[in-house]
Amino acid sequence: MNDRSGAAAQDLTAIPARDLRRARLMALILGVVVPLVLSGVVLGLVLAWLPELPAPAATHWGPSGVDGFGPPVVFAWMSVLLGFVLPAVLTITTIIGVRDHWGGGARLLVGMALGISGLSAVLTLGVVAAQRGLADAKQAGDTLGVMLLSFGAFVVLIGVGWLLQPHIRPAPATPLRPAHVDSIARGERVVWLATATLSRPAVILISLLIVVVVGITAFMAIRFTDRLWVPVLTLLLIGGAFASSASFRVRVGPDGLRIRSLVGFPRVHVPLDEIVSVRAVECNPFGEFGGFGWRLGLDGRTGIVLRRGPAIEVERRDKRPLVVTVDGAAVGAGVLQAYLERDASPRDVGQDGGAPGDERTGR
């Protein structure tokens, strides 16, 4: 199929530079600066209280009470690593990964970074305060209340981080100039086919994860035969998820949009009469959906997002908008738009809906 739509010249969805700078600045404040200040305060208190703690100190509680011990200085390290380093790494990784496209996924990850910092602060201070002045760490009381408070701080600060960040909306894409509108209007069947696949880094990462799980399975098969089912089940779940979401076949034709995993499931069909509008956009799965695969976005969209780049976005009647990342998305969206316009002008279409055998296929 020849591209006569001028799709290559279409502007893709983008975040205005001014809004992007504002989002990044707020992300750095909430995910790096605030955790740094909070971690510094906690570290100062922990260092001041260290002489009052038993040695070794209680570091883990089980159903029957204290069951783990360690040097008191471990709490100082926890206030730095969990309270600052982890949130900062999560925030900076998000900013780098999102690049020039900021969405709900990035906003949530920054909120989680702030929440982790708050969880660390409450948990560290609570556990250390419970042991001040004790001669023996076994005398430390139950920490259920501290755990509940720390989890509450985690949830509340995620919400605060979400609300404090600007709600950035991408600039709308340029309306498509339909592809093959003349031939489709004359009754020809034009079918556009493409394959959506995971990016190479994602495939490598998942493959390494599978190798690790296989290694754990082999180790447990030798040492703990009674617990072998745990890694085996994990391996089956990871392998099944990878096989079903690593690659999808995308088809645009007179029956609408069809997306099907190469293993047959999952799949989705969006008939023409369910489509309100279609456009080509630039998608960043990490920033908009918080990751890769078949995902639900916080902005109300469903995504089959396997790599960063062009995507077809379809607004569906009475359903969530659907986004699928695929090379040549502007051409596929243009073909789908042409069919929508043909159905909107039935007088331009032949009675038989197309000449027998007159079909073109594009890839």
Give the CATH number, domain containing residue 187.
2.30.29.30
Shared-domain flag, residues 262 and 157: no
Residue 283 covered by a domain? yes
Q: Is the pLDDT of residue 360 over 70?
A: no
Residue with tokens 């360690």: 70
Under DSSP, the state recorded for 171 is: B
Residues 179 and 78 occupy one common structural domain: no
Residue 9 Cα to chain centre, angstroms: 29
Spell out the residues 6+ positions from residue 288 whose beta carbon is closer than 8 angstroms to its own: 101, 103, 104, 105, 106, 297, 299, 301, 303, 305
When the pLDDT of each residue in the chain is averaged and rounded to a whole number, the result is 78
Average pLDDT over residues 316-336: 87
pLDDT tens figures, 129-142: 888 878 777 777 77
**236 within some domain:** no
Question: Looking at residues 232-259, what average pLDDT do you find?
Answer: 78
Does 54 share its domain with 140?
yes
**pTM, entire model:** 0.64
Q: CB within 8 A of 296, min separation 6: which ones? A: 289, 302, 303, 320
- Closest to 278 measured CA to CA, from 2, 3, 7: 7
- 43 sits in the region (left: phi over 0; alpha: psi -120 to 50; else beta) called alpha
Q: Is the per-residue pLDDT at 171 higher than 80? A: no
Top-confidence residue, 153 or 209: 153
Beta strands in 63-99 (DSSP E): 65-70
Domain extent at residue 110? 17-164
Q: How far apart are CA 58 and CA 42, in angstroms?
A: 18
| Residue 335 pLDDT | 85
Q: Which of 29-38, 206-215, 263-272, 330-339 has the highest mean pLDDT?
A: 29-38
* Mean pLDDT, residues 319-327 taken together: 89
For residue 104, being part of any structural domain is answered with yes
Structural domains of the chain, count: 2
pLDDT of residue 120: 92
The mean pLDDT of 275-293, rounded to a whole number, is 80
Instruction: Decide if 333 contacts 312 (C-beta within 8 A).
Output: yes
301-318: per-residue pLDDT in tens?
Answer: 888 888 888 889 888 988
Residue 14: band (very low, low, confident or very high) from pLDDT cuts 50, 70, 90? low
Q: Looking at the structure, do residues 253 and 147 belong to the same domain, yes or no?
A: no
In a domain, 278, yes or no: yes
Q: What is the pLDDT of residue 247?
A: 80
Residue 350 pLDDT > 50, yes or no? Answer: no
Angle at 321 between CA 320 and CA 323, to 5 degrees: 130
Judged against a pLDDT cut of 80, whether residue 217 lies above it is answered with no
d(CA 223, CA 202): 32
177 in the same domain as 160 = no
pLDDT for the residue numbered 119:
93
Nearest CA-CA partner of 46 in 152, 126, 134, 102:
126
**Whether residues 344 and 286 fall in one domain:** yes
Residue 50 has pLDDT above 80, yes or no: yes
The residue with greater pLDDT, 279 or 33, is 33
Low-confidence winner among 151-155, 161-165, 325-329 (lowest mean pLDDT): 325-329
At residue 114, the pLDDT reads 95
Task: Tell me if 253 is assigned to some domain.
Answer: yes
End-to-end CA distance of the chain, in Å? 7
Q: Quick one: tokens of 118?
A: 């708050």
70 with 102, same domain: the answer is yes
164 or 212, which is more confident? 164
- According to the model, what pLDDT value does residue 4 have? 40
pLDDT tens digits along 105-116 = 788 889 999 999
Q: Is pLDDT of 84 > 70?
A: yes
- The tens digit of pLDDT for each residue in 27-45 reads 999 999 999 999 999 999 9
Please report the pLDDT score of residue 122 as a whole number.
Answer: 93
Query: Strand 309-316 relative to strand 293-296: parallel, antiparallel, unpaired?
Result: unpaired
Name 32's Cβ contacts closer than 8 Å, sequence gap at least 6: 87, 88, 91, 92
CB-based contact 321:314 (threshold 8 Å): yes
Q: Per-residue pLDDT for 282 more than 60?
A: yes
pLDDT at 210: 67
180 and 310 within one domain: yes
- Whether 325 maps to a domain, the answer reads yes
Instruction: Decide if 209 is inside a domain.
Output: no
Let me know: does 165 contact 30? Beta carbons within 8 Å. Answer: yes
Residues 101 and 282: beta-carbon distance below 8 Å: yes
